[in-house]
Structure 1
Amino acid sequence: MTGKARRKAAAALALAAMAPLLSACTEEPSAHDAVRDFLVGWQTGDYTLAARRTDGDEKKVSRALEDARVQLDAASFRFELRGIRRADDEAEADFAAEVDLGENNPLWEYDGRLPLHLVNGRWKVRWSPSVLHPELREGQRFAVKVESESRQPIVDRNNDPLQQPANLYVASVVPAKLEDAAGLCEQLSKVTGFPQDRLLSRIRSASPSDQVPLVTFGRLRFAQLRSELEAIEGLEFSTREQAVAPDAPAQIVGTVTAVTPETEQQLGGPQRAGDTVGRSGLQKAYQEHLTGSTETSVITVDLKTLQPVAELAKWRPGRTASPVRTTLDRKVQSAADTALAAGGPGMLVAVKGSTGEILAVGSTKEYHQEKDALAGKFPAGTAFSVMAVEGLLKAEVDLKQKLSCPAERTVGGARFHQAGAFTGGTPTVQASFATGCVTALASLARRIDGAELTAGAAKFGIGAEWTLPLKSFSGSVDPLRNDAATARAIAGQNVSVSPLSMALVAGAVASGTWRPPVLVTEPASQDPADEDAPAQTVSPVDLDDETVDTLRSLMRVAVTAGSARAADAEGEPVHGVTAAASVDRRPLSWFVGWQGDVAVAVLVQSADSTAGAATAGRFFQNLRAGA
């Protein structure tokens, strides 16, 4: 059953239930019958039945009732009889009307009156346009005006817009100028794919002298269809500039397109034609917030002057459109993009260590900023050793003790390989941490309890159920049931993380507290589907002071004397570690660290284990230089 059929059936049922009430409302069955038949006919679309119960010309009344439905683009009418008063040969019935103005539009409710009189011994409704509505007069018609708010911007933390202006092309009509509205809609439907009946309803329900937008096109789509569109007589075109072209980080901000036939139903029909719809990123996640609600009004129009006469009702349901304010920083984003451009394929996520706010999400064309940088699942490599330090301290491992770094080592049956032999004698545990020696670090598995290692990772947010408006991944650790599994975890082989989750790890060491990520500050909720939800349901975690002090020392040594030296930069000291990993035989290079209150995770596709650190170094230099 179609939506229209369902509405009609519901209306019929409503009247069936109403009939006994109608019968009981008056002692005069004849007046009651006239009122009942008129309202039943009007509600069910049996306009002939309704017209016969009036004293007007049957064809004229039938046409007026049908025109009212068309002019309002009404999905249904529902009526409730409130009472009938009689004085000799005159009577008056009071009724309540409820008009469904269609999908995504409000219900129009008003009170009406039906004057009746006896004509040749039969009760008849005294016909005039005021029967349809008390304020409708002869020579007037209904019309519906629909005005959508302009799309609001997505802005960075400093209120700088993260979009650039782009031209949209609007095809519109002035109904009073059209000789063949149905023919125009038929042609426009063939060219664009928009339903012909809905386009025509939009025209017929609009005020005749208004410019009525029907379809909006982006630049490329308009160029493709321009010749066909210009051949449609009566169609007019205008250009509307709107800030919809995304700035960096483009995949986080998201794309915006004109409404298409595929999205029209989602947005509520052609009364929204001319609007825009977010197709990805934050533009999609906050579509309703950015576009707000549509203002709808029912008016009367003079048929001679084609000018509005009276406003009968007006609504703006829902919230007013407002900007989405993010934690992103255009300057930090520029520093990230410039740093990545000078290296190989890779990603960089920067957060504010003291708050968890995401400052920048950068990637080269080989990676996606949301799917990979925020939600990707990559092996942590020996960068996971940052989260293993607390377990080492609890196991009372002396970080200055000697720990060989051979090219090969087997732990519990798991085999590990270290690229590049350590020179200069047997290194300490601290030196192995600074150089990311996988064979040395893996050997510590025999001294660390797997449960302690997993619990330590959880303190750094691995596996936390945070909420962001975009897809993200907090990380996971496979079950550590034996020494081999624990050794693989220390080596980061059975630990999956995203660049975002590792940037938060760096921020936790920098600030002493792990904090969940924040990307949007207004609206406060990180869940676009429920903007009234709490801003964060995951609490910060204070780290052990000894763990933090030890990590800061280790991660500074890794920059000054270890494999992360390429990350060093002017200004405040840089702390960090490097790690090597691989995915589908693609070598990856991590850098996880911070400078000041800016914590980063860099993941670069390279066989050079220091490539991530080099990108981080360029980033910090760019940031200092204001790139």
Structure 2
Amino acid sequence: MNRVRRTLAATVTLAIASMTLTGCFEEASPHDAVRDFLVGWQSNDYELAASRADGDPAVVRKALSDAKLQLDAASFRFRIKSVRVTGDESQAEFGVEVDLGDNNPLWTYDSVLPLRLDDGMWKVKWSPAVLHPQLKEGQRFAVKAKPKPRQPVLDRGGDPLQQDMFLYVAGVVPAQLGDRAEEVVKQLSQITGYAEDRLLSRIRSAPPNETVPLITFGRTRYQSVRQKLDAIPEVKTVTEKQPVDPASPKQIVGRVSALTPETEQKLGGPQRAGDSIGQSGLQQAYQGYLTGSTETQVIILDLNTGEEVASLQQWPGRQNRSVQTTIDSGVQVAAERAVSSTRASALVAVDSSTGEIRAVSTRGLHQQNDALAGRFPAGTAFSIVAADAILKAGVQTKQKLPCPAERTVGGARFVSAAQVTGSSPTFQQNFAAGCVTALASLARRVTGDDLARSAENFGIGLPWQLPLKSFSGSRPAFDGDAAKAKAIAGQNVEVSPLSMALVAGAVASGTWRPPVLVTAPDTPDAADEVTPAPQPPPRQLDPQVREALTAMMRAGAQGTPAQAGSGRVHGVTSAATGKENDAWFVGWQGDLAIAVFTRNYNPAAVAGSFFAALGDTP
């Protein structure tokens, strides 16, 4: 809830309060004075309030007005608790609710209005204690706000996935402004675009002898306005280091910027100068966790010395915390090297036994929008999933299966560019080579329900949850031989590199698991106050099918660049699909399962570079 909304709420409360006070007390009594004073104070009608006090009207008006400025309050609201009369003296007990704005908690306290009968009229006995029981002559309110430094996004080993970068914070010392406060604020507003009233209210509510941070700049923005800022002698700029310069995977970690007038207005608080705002990736998804909320304290100051004499209320704010990811920086380095020679590619690596994402790397594509959430034709890489249904239907890996250049299945025409050696290739050989025509011919051996169940067992289309946008895949209804054949060839199925890395992980470990990117905290900011949807449960593969698929994918990697000198790589390379010559390598080595998506480049070569780079990475 922002300042504007709270102010509107206060107006409604005021109307109700006015009617209540007016309706309850019909006789001339202390109640009339209590009503007029509190309604005048609440509605900023300080003339009305002062008319019901026994002090100098100008002094009362100024004290009430100053209290609102010193607290930077959006509103005051009151609730009468009791009114007691003893002869010519009276006392009204009331509750106070002060909205400090900027999404700070409401400040509530109880107070007392003393009254006396003066020439037949009840008057509030004026003193600063009317504003708060602890306030005395020669004292004032003030609000101290202390933003927390931004916490880092961490890799799985606890190392930051960003480097420190300097931000520039411009501020003033209120006591040094003298009568130039409004002029300084006007100049700052013209330079930065911040509203004058917000800057001025922060100055007036702060302790006068302490520096008040007002505006934060990134390096480029600061350099563009530096001369103008330097021309205002009262404004001092300091540098602050914050962990905001992202390391790889940069688009997953996300960008951070300094607070701007636009982001402050959009977020509505509790951000203040010195804060940083996540613009994308995990920095945006976990903004509230990484920054926490501003620590706020209402205090009383001595007007002469500026020293704090009392603390009336303190809110520690929400504690900020780092975000723990599953990214392995060593694996990420290997992934970055592997895609560096390509023009358009994406590589996602997951731990096959947990589903935890270890690396996300792209070249010419976007790490979140394409690697995690891209929607690409699966090509013959989807034959891994289809093979689950085909093997369960009784087809043997050694079954002879011709690989003609062309074939029609259910009216759908298929053309294969794959070359399969031997006069009578087997199902396994056609799978390894990605022969579209041979694989499509098996559509008649499975039902649409068979294929749908296998797709679900490999997580295709399941509603998993990640803090960033992602895509688990989509498929049509397999309601005929043509639709089934196209699915086996991956022509009517869309997947993301992440979803296919999980497919490889399922075969490698024997169990499909949903992806994991962040292990702490449990939910991003958007889901902080709601129960997050449960992750789909793991799906165990049929052990015999998994054994056959393992052998098929071992054959699929043999003789390809994915081997990179190692005989431990399992995988399959898809035939090119679509106008862009899209291609896939889906497989694993050890505990790491990967999916590589490329355009006009051999994905098996990227996979080989990745596995080779792992051996060179500490």
Q: Same fold (TM over 0.5)?
A: yes
Matched, 1:618 2:609: yes
Matched, 1:521 2:519: yes
Mapped to 2, the partners of 1:80 and 1:31 lie a distance apart of 16
Match of 2:340 in 1: 341
Match of 2:286 in 1: 286
Match of 1:353 in 2: 352
1:32 positional shift: 2.1
Contact 2:129 2:135 in 1 (8 A): yes
1:535 positional shift: 8.0
Sort the Cα spacing of 1:502 and 1:615 in 2 relative to 1 into closer, same or farther, 3 A.
same
- Say which SS state the counterpart of residue 615 (structure 2) adopts: helix
Match of 1:152 in 2: 151
Match of 2:528 in 1: 530
In the alignment, structure 2 segments of 5+ residues that lack a partner are none
Mapped to 1, the partners of 2:478 and 2:9 lie a distance apart of 59
Match of 1:224 in 2: 224
Match of 2:595 in 1: 601
Q: Deviations over 1:251-296 (max 9, x none)?
A: 0000000111111023335862221110000000011111112211
Matched, 1:54 2:39: no
Sort the Cα spacing of 1:493 and 1:271 in 2 relative to 1 into closer, same or farther, 3 A.
closer
Match of 1:499 in 2: 497
- Say which SS state the counterpart of residue 370 (structure 1) adopts: helix
Q: Deviations over 1:571-603 (max 9, x none)?
A: 6711100002334x1112211000111000001
Match of 2:171 in 1: 172
1:4 positional shift: 7.8
Sort the Cα spacing of 1:8 and 1:325 in 2 relative to 1 into closer, same or farther, 3 A.
closer
CA RMSD of aligned residues (A): 2.0
Match of 1:136 in 2: 135
Matches within 5 A, 1:93-104: 93-104=92-103
Question: How many equivalent residue pairs?
Answer: 615
Contact 1:349 1:601 in 2 (8 A): yes
Match of 1:13 in 2: 15
Match of 1:236 in 2: 236
Matched, 1:71 2:66: no
1:485 positional shift: 1.4
Mapped to 2, the partners of 1:373 and 1:390 lie a distance apart of 25
1:201 positional shift: 1.0
Match of 1:32 in 2: 31
Contact 1:523 1:531 in 2 (8 A): no
Mapped to 2, the partners of 1:308 and 1:162 lie a distance apart of 41
- Say which SS state the counterpart of residue 477 (structure 1) adopts: coil
- Say which SS state the counterpart of residue 469 (structure 2) adopts: coil
Contact 1:206 1:212 in 2 (8 A): yes
Matched, 1:424 2:422: yes
The one-letter amino acid paired with 2:18 is: A
Equivalent of residue 584 in structure 2, options 590, 607, 615: 590
Mapped to 1, the partners of 2:202 and 2:351 lie a distance apart of 49
The alignment's TM-score, normalised by the length of structure 2, stands at 0.96
1:83 positional shift: 1.8
Contact 2:264 2:271 in 1 (8 A): no
Contact 1:574 1:595 in 2 (8 A): yes
1:30 positional shift: 2.8
Mapped to 2, the partners of 1:157 and 1:11 lie a distance apart of 50
Sort the Cα spacing of 1:385 and 1:527 in 2 relative to 1 into closer, same or farther, 3 A.
farther
Equivalent of residue 466 in structure 2, options 465, 468, 474: 468
In the alignment, structure 1 segments of 5+ residues that lack a partner are none
The alignment's TM-score, normalised by the length of structure 1, stands at 0.94
Matched, 1:434 2:425: no
Sort the Cα spacing of 1:5 and 1:459 in 2 relative to 1 into closer, same or farther, 3 A.
closer
Percent of aligned positions that are identical? 56
Sort the Cα spacing of 1:454 and 1:560 in 2 relative to 1 into closer, same or farther, 3 A.
same
1:152 positional shift: 0.9
Sort the Cα spacing of 1:522 and 1:36 in 2 relative to 1 into closer, same or farther, 3 A.
same
Equivalent of residue 575 in structure 1, options 553, 564, 570: 570
The one-letter amino acid paired with 1:605 is: R
- Say which SS state the counterpart of residue 581 (structure 1) adopts: coil
- Say which SS state the counterpart of residue 554 (structure 2) adopts: helix
1:342 positional shift: 3.0
Equivalent of residue 512 in structure 1, options 510, 514, 529: 510
The one-letter amino acid paired with 1:218 is: G
Mapped to 2, the partners of 1:101 and 1:348 lie a distance apart of 49
Contact 1:525 1:532 in 2 (8 A): no
Matches within 5 A, 1:349-388: 349-364=348-363, 366-388=364-386
- Say which SS state the counterpart of residue 296 (structure 1) adopts: strand
The one-letter amino acid paired with 1:592 is: V
Q: Deviations over 1:6-33 (max 9, x none)?
A: 3453143132243157528xxx843222
Q: Deviations over 1:303-347 (max 9, x none)?
A: 111121111111134x31111101111001001001111334211
Sort the Cα spacing of 1:526 and 1:413 in 2 relative to 1 into closer, same or farther, 3 A.
farther
Structure 1 range deviating more: 444-453 or 486-495: 444-453
1:547 positional shift: 1.0
Mapped to 2, the partners of 1:612 and 1:5 lie a distance apart of 59
Contact 2:338 2:606 in 1 (8 A): yes
Mapped to 2, the partners of 1:418 and 1:537 lie a distance apart of 38
- Say which SS state the counterpart of residue 390 (structure 2) adopts: helix
Contact 1:85 1:91 in 2 (8 A): yes
1:378 positional shift: 0.5
Q: Deviations over 1:532-591 (max 9, x none)?
A: 635842100011111100000100111225xxx2111456711100002334x1112211
Structure 1 range deviating more: 115-124 or 30-39: 115-124
Q: Deviations over 1:369-392 (max 9, x none)?
A: 000000000111111111111222
Q: Deviations over 1:434-481 (max 9, x none)?
A: 111111111111222222112111100000000100000000112222
1:207 positional shift: 1.1
Mapped to 1, the partners of 2:366 and 2:111 lie a distance apart of 59
Match of 2:315 in 1: 315
Mapped to 2, the partners of 1:56 and 1:385 lie a distance apart of 88
Matches within 5 A, 1:177-196: 177-179=176-178, 180-196=180-196
- Say which SS state the counterpart of residue 460 (structure 2) adopts: coil
Contact 1:572 1:596 in 2 (8 A): no
Contact 1:406 1:422 in 2 (8 A): no
Mapped to 2, the partners of 1:157 and 1:552 lie a distance apart of 29
Structure 1 range deviating more: 390-399 or 461-470: 390-399
Mapped to 2, the partners of 1:191 and 1:432 lie a distance apart of 68
Sort the Cα spacing of 1:65 and 1:534 in 2 relative to 1 into closer, same or farther, 3 A.
closer
The one-letter amino acid paired with 2:285 is: A
1:176 positional shift: 0.7
The one-letter amino acid paired with 1:484 is: A
